[in-house]
Structure 1
Amino acid sequence: MKKLLVAGAALAALLAASPATAGDPSGKVQVKLLGTAVLPDGKITSVDTDIVGLPAGTQTAASDNYVPTLAIEYFFNDSFSLETICCMTQHDVDAYSGFAPGTELVSNAKLIPATLTAKYHLPLGPVKPYVGAGVTYFWWVDVDPGAATIPLGVTRTDLSDEFGFVLQGGADIALGDSGFGLTLDAKKYFVDTTASWYANDTLAIQTKHKLDPWVLSAGIAYRF
């Protein structure tokens, strides 16, 4: 987490040092306002603790979510940039194998996916495709026990904060010379979490999950 925060602070310092100018399609700073679909996987990869006797083959799925996203990008030159995003997304986790449909195990799990990516752009006129890669830190800020677990005596549910990796691809489309443009972006995250369910202070179930969400965005951009 500390390294990611340092990188984010360095990017913020670069942005602060950039002179304020009118819109410019070749400017140093680009701000994007996006609509984003967060499409997680959420499947169990291992069961480490189980004192309640989960059905054999128990599996889970995390719900999709749709959120606004703010992205800030600094260009070192026409080809290379760093980008960070700001958003919070919320998910439920249901069991779908060995349980009745809609058996909720985790409720209203709120996530901040702190992300920093390095991007390579192909300057092909007004349409500029790019690819990127970077790091993420999944920070769970609030997690509630699912409705199906409370009658079983579950009093607390935790999801572990974890580092992961990100691959990215997309395109920026300039709209004239005003600095405004359209943007399309796809990210594939590779990150796990450990889920723990407690009955008072007793660890009842602990499972490892592969989240690996697709994060698909589209919106408007302003470069200056």
Structure 2
Amino acid sequence: MRKSVFTASLLALAIAAPMAHAYQAGDIIVRAGAITVDPRESSSDIWVGALNTDVAGTKATLDSDTQLGLNFAYMLTSHVGIELLAATPFSHDVGVKGMPGAFAGLNGKLGSLKHLPPTVSVVYYPLDSSSAFQPYVGAGINYTWFFDTELSGAAEDKGFSGLDLKDSWGLAAQVGMDYMLTENLLLNAQVRYIDIDTTGTTNFGGAKVKVDVDVDPMVYMVGLGYKF
């Protein structure tokens, strides 16, 4: 008799627990974790004003960076939500490569920059809202703000002055998943692609140097979340 009652209790919990995990209209989900922006940059040849031409084979480079990522989501229905991606500022080194011959000494680190990429997305959760496992897809709009640009001391010694990057608007897409650890606490993982296009300018020998860069990073985040 006791065994039957115990078994029935476990069965009742197994049935009831997923229901407690449901996403419903009006839920607010806050996520935080480590987020990495990994640029997959593709740049034009660098235009050098002193030569009044593009220099074939030259490229601009950016490295990756990891910061604290934040997500804020509001569920419009049990399957559709609006999400804002935020983060602490990302820092990247900017480099030059491919300069030939007499200009080869200009290759290397040019400077550094910071940026913030706030992104607003519509997200869709296809599974039943009672499932503890909630994969999702999303698409939205990104605005990337570049700031705190500065040249390295080595670049200034080589004759560079000033560094500026144009802010960017672009589309973004993501896939992700939540797994409910408790009724409110969840584990999250997500991958995004963000379309970021910018133009970088500096000066060398009193003449402008310019390059167009498709930054187009993959963005990875793993963290915890809480459903209110």
The interval holding the TM-score normalised by the smaller chain is 0.7 to 0.9
1:120 aligned residue: 124
After superposing the two structures, state which structure 1 stretch, 115-124 or 90-99, moved more: 90-99
Cα contact 2:50–2:204 (8 A) shared by 1: no
SS at match of 1:149: helix
- Distance, in Å, in 2 between the alignment partners of 1:164 and 1:103 is 29
2:97 aligned residue: 96
- Distance, in Å, in 2 between the alignment partners of 1:196 and 1:180 is 46
The number of aligned residues is 199
CA radius of gyration, larger in: 2
Change (3 A) 1:203 1:139: farther
- Distance, in Å, in 2 between the alignment partners of 1:175 and 1:39 is 29
- How far off its partner does 1:96 sit? 3.4
Determine which structure has the larger helix proportion and give its number.
2
Change (3 A) 1:182 1:101: farther
Structure 1-normalised TM-score? Answer: 0.80
SS at match of 2:160: coil
Change (3 A) 1:157 1:102: same
2:174 aligned residue: 168
Within-5 A mapping of 1:1-224: 25-26=22-23, 28-51=27-50, 56-87=56-87, 88-98=89-99, 99=104, 103-107=108-112, 109-124=113-128, 125-177=131-183, 179-198=184-203, 202-224=206-228
Structure 2-normalised TM-score? Answer: 0.79
After superposition, the C-alpha distances for 1:59-102 in whole angstroms (9 at most, x for unaligned) are 23211101111111000011111111221111002223345797
**What is the letter of the counterpart of residue 191 of structure 1?**
I
- Distance, in Å, in 2 between the alignment partners of 1:191 and 1:173 is 30
- Distance, in Å, in 2 between the alignment partners of 1:154 and 1:102 is 12
Change (3 A) 1:217 1:101: farther
Change (3 A) 1:203 1:118: farther
- Distance, in Å, in 2 between the alignment partners of 1:106 and 1:62 is 10
- Distance, in Å, in 2 between the alignment partners of 1:102 and 1:45 is 16
Question: Where does structure 1 lack aligned partners over 5 or more consecutive residues?
Answer: 1-22
- Distance, in Å, in 2 between the alignment partners of 1:151 and 1:207 is 21
- Distance, in Å, in 1 between the alignment partners of 2:47 and 2:167 is 17
- Distance, in Å, in 2 between the alignment partners of 1:162 and 1:32 is 25
- Distance, in Å, in 2 between the alignment partners of 1:147 and 1:104 is 10
Identity %: 24
- Distance, in Å, in 1 between the alignment partners of 2:31 and 2:160 is 41
